[in-house]
Amino acid sequence: MKPIRYTGLLLLLFAASCSIQKHLPPGTQLYRGAKFDIQKDSLNRTRVRTIRKQLTAISIPKPNTAIFGFPYRVWLWYLFGEPHKESGFRYWLRYRIGQEPVLNTAADTKANAENFTNYLINKGYFNSRAQGDTSVKGYKMYANYRVKLGMPYFVRGVDWIIDTLSEIGRDISRIPDRNVLIKPGQQFDLDNVKAERTRVDGMLKNRGYYYFSPDHIKAWIDSTNRDNTVNVHFKLKDDVPVAAVMPQRISSITLFPNYSLIFPPPDTARSGMRIVNGIHIRDTVRYLNDATLTRSVTYKPNSLYNLRQQNRTLNRFINTGVFKFVKNRYEVNGDTLLPRWLDVYYYLTPLPKKTIQAEVGAFTKTNSFTGAQASVTWKNRNAFKGAEQLLVKFYGSFESAGTDSLRRNNNFRLGTEFSLVLPRFVTPFRVRDSFAFPPKTSFSLGYEWMRKQALYTKNYFRFQYDLAWREANNKQHLFAPVSITHTITSAFSPEYKTLIDQIPGLKISNLPELIMGSFYTYTYTTRNINAPRNFYLRANIDAAGNILGALNKAKQPYTGKFLGAYYAQYVKMDADMHYSIRFGKESRWVNRVVVGAGFPYGNSLFLPFVKQFIIGGANSLRGFQVRQLGPGRVKTTPQQQLYYPQVGGDYKLELNTELRFPVFGKLKGAVFVDAGNVWTRDAILYGNDAKFTAQFLNDLAVDAGLGARVDLSFLIIRLDLGLPLRVPYRPRGQEWDFGNSFRNIVYNIAIGYPF
């Protein structure tokens, strides 16, 4: 049967190819890409594969997508036919699924050969040359290039030829070379020369040279050495304008904080102008107070022009959260032949001061619950004329179970939250603020009422005071000196009250609880998210009960009280690390490691449920549902899954690896493997099999699966199919469960990537 099937497939491909050939314009062929014959000297150690890959990347045009050499998307293009209008399903099929044929007429082998030659020379292969011709096979045309690859040249030395007695000459000579982009010993690359010119230009712009440009720098390469090395020389061009070699100072700074694009006031208008700390402010309606405006300007009159400070000022204005548009303008003040002074104008267009937003949604959960939620948020972006954001939020939700055993266990939530966010540090002591983005101080106060119909009622009271700031664009800090959560459980159902008296862990989980502590979070990301290699780190440390424990030391766990509640004592640390490598333009190999450890002590035997580490679900181990994995080797009972506020642990280890790749259009694919588990420090909740031991690696769960994602740019819809491969709660030696994996597939539908 196999030969018959293969013969049928070949006949089908042959018929489809004939269909493509029939539709091509007369005298044309389908362009199928470039082939390279690369010749090099035996002493040249450059990898031919690397050069072929680089030349293929810059070859134009790009051939049509194909599978096993068959341009299936071109076949679909002709199959769908010309749509009657530029919209509709047929138009979408042809232009999204199909692909317009790339014809031989689009290929210019002579121009490509010249481009290849220039590219290789610019990369340091100075004596390279390329020639091209074409070949035709059936209805397909190929471009064939013969490349003679020259020996690579390396940088011997780099210097500047400049008059150090001139003002700009002295400033150039003072530029530190620790970040220089051309270094002796590296292969010559023209892109590095251009990048070095840009670096020097940026450094000069931070020293006052507003009118300077990278084009004012001349570079030439001396390749007369006989050892395949070059010397790179830089100098200023002879025709550099006078203004470009003179540093400029700031004469005046003028702010228009209530600027209108419809009726803009003239820059020279003086009515309503006032001067605060040397800064001119024209704000006839007093939209913002003076301190908020002047705090955002990171330089003063009479200072040298500085590009870094200019960008910082723009960032600070934008991130106050009260302006819709922010732009600036520089104008010469005084003699235009010798422009030493600049006037600076900032035009700030406010956002609407007050807004109200409503959200309504529905959801389903893996525990058979479905429900709906709604919220209303009122925001005042400038509550006290200091760019303070005042938010008042009201929300509610309900969920109901569809299974008979849970039908009476409906859940209801009602809550409100008040938040005040200030664009500055608010601390008992003075903190210097010199960041590129304004720091933020937040105060939040909230209350939530939750009713589990068949179990209990919980009342949550929350207060938090935190400080957030960015050390740099890719380094963020969040420090909450005060974070308080007070929980009171009441109105127990008779059945649940009976269970509480029988299960010690359940009794503890329903005690009135007070979590009073502090936490700090540090986040680091690679500056360029499109870089070939990316790294992400989020580290957190959280501590509670230290002060209360010192004032009211508990002799036994769950005996110390404050304000009528048992206070929690613990130290918790965790880190979430991602590392990704890009392959080609759209494929990435993404890896994640999550480690966490909590150390309850004193008045606590385990971390509070809201602080416990959890695992499983759409953004974790995708072959296991939330609440159905761990801790340790435990398989939690239906009662534990239902009655405990959360199924988690005091320790966590999670490992994820995922290969993401394009399929076609906006459809992306993924292959993944996940591993991990959580563990407890004490046996009181789940027994000894849940405890963390030296053999914790034997308790790891493992899953693998496939994923499909629709990338709409602004939204990613994800479907992951996870197969549980290693199930830790199975008997010892039988954890690997390949036989049941396909019968226990877990479907995960989510928004966004899992990590």
**Exposure of 186 in the CB half-sphere (CA atoms within 13 A):** 13
Asked if 441 and 419 touch (Cβ cutoff 8 Å), the reply is no
Q: From 350, 367, 383, give the residue that closes a domain.
A: 350
Backbone angles phi, psi at 706, to 5 degrees: -120, 150
pLDDT for position 270:
62
Q: Is pLDDT at 366 greater than 70 in this prediction?
A: no
- Whether 10 is covered by a domain: the verdict is no
- Give the pLDDT confidence of 615-665 residue by residue, as tens digits: 999 999 999 988 889 899 999 888 788 788 889 999 999 999 999 999 887
Q: Is pLDDT at 14 greater than 70 in this prediction?
A: no
Asked whether residue 623 falls in the same domain as residue 755, the answer is yes
Mean pLDDT estimate for the chain: 89
Q: Is pLDDT at 421 greater than 70 in this prediction?
A: yes
Asked whether residue 310 falls in the same domain as residue 336, the answer is yes
Alpha-carbon torsion, ordered 170, 175, 177, 178, to 10 deg: 150
Q: From 116, 149, 182, give the residue that closes a domain.
A: 149
What domain range includes position 51? 20-63+102-149
**How far are the Cα atoms of 386, 629, 743 from residue 675, in angstroms, in the given order?**
49, 11, 19
pLDDT-derived band of residue 1, with 50, 70 and 90 as boundaries? Answer: very low
- Whether 472 is covered by a domain: the verdict is no
Q: From 350, 382, 404, give the residue that closes a domain.
A: 350
Backbone angles phi, psi at 265, to 5 degrees: -75, 150
Asked whether residue 238 falls in the same domain as residue 320, the answer is no
- Whether 305 is covered by a domain: the verdict is yes
- Whether 658 is covered by a domain: the verdict is yes
pLDDT for position 351:
92
Asked whether residue 267 falls in the same domain as residue 310, the answer is yes
Residues in the chain: 755
Helix pair 72-80, 2-23: axis angle to 10 deg:
60
- Cα–Cα distance measured from residue 554 to residue 705, given in angstroms and rounded to the nearest whole number: 48
For the entire predicted model, the pTM comes to 0.80
- Start-to-end C-alpha separation, the chain: 45
* Number of independent structural domains in the chain: 4
Helices (H), 335-428: none
For residue 337, the domain's CATH number is 3.10.20.310
Asked whether residue 233 falls in the same domain as residue 110, the answer is no
**How far are the Cα atoms of 75, 179, 433, 468, 579 from residue 471, in angstroms, in the given order?**
54, 20, 10, 10, 22
**How far are the Cα atoms of 375, 401, 414 from residue 359, in angstroms, in the given order?**
5, 23, 15
Asked whether residue 129 falls in the same domain as residue 177, the answer is no
- Cα–Cα distance measured from residue 570 to residue 41, given in angstroms and rounded to the nearest whole number: 67
For residues 477-502, give the mean pLDDT: 91
pLDDT-derived band of residue 7, with 50, 70 and 90 as boundaries? Answer: low
For residues 577-601, give the mean pLDDT: 93
Asked whether residue 175 falls in the same domain as residue 36, the answer is no
- Whether 370 is covered by a domain: the verdict is no
Asked whether residue 215 falls in the same domain as residue 286, the answer is no
Task: List the structure tokens of 133.
Answer: 């011709």
Who has greater pLDDT, 741 or 159?
159
Asked whether residue 142 falls in the same domain as residue 161, the answer is no
Asked whether residue 184 falls in the same domain as residue 140, the answer is no
Asked whether residue 140 falls in the same domain as residue 198, the answer is no
Asked whether residue 748 falls in the same domain as residue 620, the answer is yes
Who has greater pLDDT, 408 or 74?
74
Q: Is pLDDT at 418 greater than 50 in this prediction?
A: yes
Which of 405, 379, 403 lies closest to 393 in space, CA to CA?
379
- Give the pLDDT confidence of 283-313 residue by residue, as tens digits: 878 888 999 999 999 999 999 999 999 999 9
